[in-house]
Amino acid sequence: MVCSTHLLSQSLYPSHRANPAAARGHLRFHARPVAVSPSATLGPSPGRRRPLGLRVAASAEQGRRQVEVVYDREAKFNKLADQVDQSAGITRLNLFSPCKINVFLKITGKRPDGFHDLASLFHVISLGDTIKFSLSPSKGKDRLSTNVAGVPVDESNLIIKALNLYRKKTGTENFFWIHLDKKVPTGAGLGGGSSNAATALWAANQFSGCIASEKDLQEWSGEIGSDIPFFFSQGAAYCTGRGEIVEDIRNPLPANLPMVLIKPPEACSTAEVYKRLRLKHTSQTDPLALLKEITENGISQDACVNDLEPPAFEVLPSLKKLKKRIIAANRGDYNAVFMSGSGSTIVGIGAPDPPAFVYDDDEYKDAFVSGLFIFPIPAFIFFISIQSKSVGPETATRGG
């Protein structure tokens, strides 16, 4: 910050020199600091005019002319901060990358391209990963690390695919060091990798000065994963097509609705699940009727249909056993018990506490168990910690 004496000289001396008569008079200049509110913000406040940098009051006192100059430090500081904000780039980002559940999942047909059409209510939950992005000093390669063994860190990872996609679409040349702190289990049907990819696209856009709109990012993301576009929604959406057609749904579930996730160590192969799918054996319920039932009357076992459960239970019979045991142990705590996505996570909606057998039975000693909740809408956000080149750490939030 430029010192106040220098700022004062910058503002006063030219006009002083331009008025020799004033110089011959007995002028007294009083630089009186104006207190800066502790809550003053660095950035500009839209719609609010800033006070002038200087206030000048003239008065006569015992035949002598007196000029009082009041230096408004807050206005000058805000002006300088605005200039810094315009020129400073981001060098680091820490982002929260939430996962999702499929409250219901209907498979509606087979497409000519080999994919399946679906209709599903997606909703983000409070479980998620943390991803740290830093600009790489070198050009030509991203570097990804993670806390979980077995997670790929090469170009097969959706984070790297997303960064490559962003550079291809925008012509930018930023490369990154990324650390993925993984909390969402892999092969769980929770969309952890898809969320990571959406987060990477959004981060790359921030580093590049937001040259793409979020609508652009959402449309591009469908090229590398069907579930990724959802993570540019407001947190709850009715998804159709391959999953890339996203319609925001406001408040389909009560805020902070508790749930429990239980995932056995085994994962379900999505490709194998779809391979075993038989369309003639899927539920005949209209997905829009399911959506209406849930939004009007809440969660129920009948409404939480997942057409991928039967083929997933063929692939992993122990998963069918787990769901049956949870339902049998339910003493009215859960409104519904169902599988998310293509598995292998079983969700119990209505209570955060898993049944006792999960802890008592050695069969589940290596299972992933978590009590959490539905994100309230519109509180779905990426939590961000920003550090730019010229200003200190700043906290911000991003709407979904």
The pLDDT tens digits for 32-56 are 333 333 333 333 444 444 444 444 4
**pLDDT tens for each residue of 154-202:** 999 999 999 999 999 999 999 999 999 999 999 999 999 999 999 999 9
Cβ atoms of residues 301 and 335 within 8 Å: yes
- The pLDDT, as a whole number, for residue 380 is 53
Residue owning tokens 């200039």: 83
Angle among Cα 367, 106, 296 to the nearest 5 degrees reads 95
Indicate whether 17 pLDDT > 50: no
DSSP string, 54-108: EEEEEEEETTEEEEEEEE-HHHHHHHHHHHHHHHPPEEEEEEEEEEEEEEEEEEE
**pLDDT tens for each residue of 90-104:** 889 999 999 999 999
How far apart are the C-alpha atoms of 118 and 106, rounded to whole Å?
5
Amino acid, res. 215:
K
Which residues belong to the active site?
100, 227
